[in-house]
Amino acid sequence: MSKALDLKETWQLLMSVQDLVLVSHVGPDGDTLGSTLGLARALRQAGKKVRLLVDDILPAVYQFLPGLDAYEQPKQGEKIHCDLTVVVDASSKDRMGEAEECLSAPILNIDHHVSNTRYADYLLLDDQAAATGEIMYLMLEENGVPVDQELATDLYTAIVTDCGYFKYANTTPRCMRVGADLLALGVKPNEISDQLELKARNSVELLAKVLPSLSFYAGGKIATLEVPLALYDKTVSTESFIYHPRYIAGVDVAVLFKQVEPRSTRVSMRSKQVDVSKVAVAFNGGGHPKAAGCTIGLPLEEAKKALLEALEKALEEL
């Protein structure tokens, strides 16, 4: 069980050490990347030595983020020494990927997922925050840490990618006030939006091959897309694919299945009513009530069958 920390205690812990490794979760999104980069910038300004790890390919859409090129991918068998490991926006330890085996220092986890498994030694958790980037800003503000335009850009990107540009159900007055504060610090929302909306050609070409797999279940309340192993390419972003089934009339739960190994299928879920975080937890995943994911140790068809059974049961219980 983690020791719970507040905003001041977390910053005090960070200031009490010199050598830190910051870890973003596998399947990196705008929140884990923007939040990690923003924290790294604040720590370096405070004179700390910081190293960034992510056990995955960085999506090209985030190349505009200041400092992104500082990320390293941990190597199998590598041993990395530091005073403190900071895991950002990851609700469970397996989301660290190979970094979990490379690091042995105490872990501080900064997160906003309601499904957090409390795996870290220290935990700053706010499950009412729209994004971990929101928590980062509140921590810096609480402790009087200066935020420049580049840091603000990192945190704004973290927030808008997790709340859908302030249109998802997790958008709150506090979230929007933080966004306004970041705009006042020089963030250019139109430029960030333009960057985030760009689609790589290979991603669009893959989408064209995936869309014919669109299928409906539970009387049209569940819609699925599939990326089979034959089409899987870890260098091609599929982050936006789930939005195609999500916004079909009558669909409550949208699911993207992506087979990444012969017996490993990644699952992303979005919903309107069903609490998909509970479904994800049943498969050792996690997330939020309306957006969650997991990795199932089965081939795609078997993973799909098991997950659909769980989702259909969840729909029946509404």
Per-residue pLDDT tens over the stretch 141-176: 999 999 999 999 999 999 999 999 999 989 999 999
- Please tell me the predicted confidence (pLDDT) of residue 90: 96
For residue 1, is pLDDT > 90?
no
Q: Give the C-alpha separation, 280 to 111, whole Å.
A: 17
- Single pTM value for the model: 0.90
Q: Which of 11, 36, 3, 5 is nearest to 142 (CA)?
A: 11
- Please tell me the predicted confidence (pLDDT) of residue 275: 96
Which residues, 6+ apart, have CB-to-CB distance to 99 below 8 Å? Answer: 21, 23, 53, 54, 55, 74
Region 236-246 average pLDDT: 93
Q: Which of 218, 250, 303, 165 is nearest to 293 (CA)?
A: 303
For residue 239, is pLDDT > 90?
no
Region 45-52 average pLDDT: 98
For residue 215, is pLDDT > 90?
yes
Q: Give the C-alpha separation, 98 to 118, whole Å.
A: 19
The 10 Å CB-count burial string (b at 16+, else e) for 2-14 is beebebeebbebb
| Domains defined for the chain, CATH in brackets | 3-196 (3.90.1640.10), 201-316 (3.10.310.30)
For residue 20, is pLDDT > 90?
yes
The number of beta carbons lying within 10 Å of the beta carbon of residue 63 is: 11
Bridge partners of 223? Answer: 216, 254
pLDDT band with cut points at 50, 70 and 90 for residue 317: very high
pLDDT in tens, 170-196: 999 999 999 999 999 999 999 999 999
Q: Give the C-alpha separation, 192 to 188, whole Å.
A: 6
